[in-house]
Chain A
């Protein structure tokens, strides 16, 4: 079946540093990937749409300069949290739709970011 991976699964960093999270589609190509943020006991909040070969589309209220997205290839998108602060601590999840499978989106396992 369709599989999406994320790396790392957990990361702890100090305030002011940057953290990169990778999202890969393992057995299909994805021209589009989505990045979500999830707070404890809350639903998923779409942050941005990652587009292969072009700029990401950010949702209203999401800082473009803080959350850098690069869709490097048809199987890889990265989210870089720049100059991280404790309020950036969260669960970050990516997803990718599998073309030809009726818009079904498959999610990665998530990355738990803790900023100290």
Chain B
């Protein structure tokens, strides 16, 4: 069964304190792994797509990496505006609909 597990569930950082969020997955043929940011009361905002082990993508203070079993979202020198819930999702190659399987998310709070 395809499954996604994110850790930690919640993370509190001081402004400027770098850290990483983890997304472990088991899927029958990974088509893509996706990272989203979700602010309270809003829909998820697309951040990155990763397709194969070893791939990395960056956007401002965020960097996403991928191995065969997990993905990390590294946050360098975070700012209070980075506070949000970060969601990881996978898309299975066996799915002909393209549906996503989501993890439970990591809620990040960055204190000034």
Contact A44 to B102, CB < 8 A, known contacts A57-B97, A107-B36, A112-B41? yes
Number of B residues contacting the other chain (C-beta, 8 Å)?
24
Whether a CB of chain A sits under 8 angstroms from the CB of B69 is no
In the assembled complex, B71 has its CB within 8 A of some CB on chain A: no
Interface residues of B, dominant DSSP: strand
Contact of B98 among A97, A106, A109, A112 (CB under 8 A): A97
**Helix, strand, loop or mixed for chain A's interface?**
strand
Identity of the chain A residue whose Cβ is nearest the Cβ of B4 in the assembled complex = A43
Separation in Å of the A89 CB from the closest CB of chain B?
A: 14
CA distance A6 to B105 in the complex (A): 23
- Docked Cα-Cα span, A108 to B105, in Å, equals 18
The contact string, 1 if C-beta is below 8 Å from chain A, for chain B 25-38, is 00000011010100
Assess whether A104 is in contact with B99, with CB atoms less than 8 Å apart: no
Interface check B49, CB cutoff 8 A: yes
Since A41-B107, A95-B43 are in contact, a sample of 13 more A-B pairs with Cβ atoms closer than 8 Å, ordered by chain A residue number, is A43-B104, A49-B97, A91-B41, A93-B44, A95-B44, A95-B100, A102-B51, A103-B32, A103-B98, A104-B46, A104-B49, A107-B46, A108-B43
Instruction: List B residues at the A interface (Cβ < 8 Å).
Output: 31-32, 34, 36, 41-46, 49, 51, 87, 91, 97-105, 107
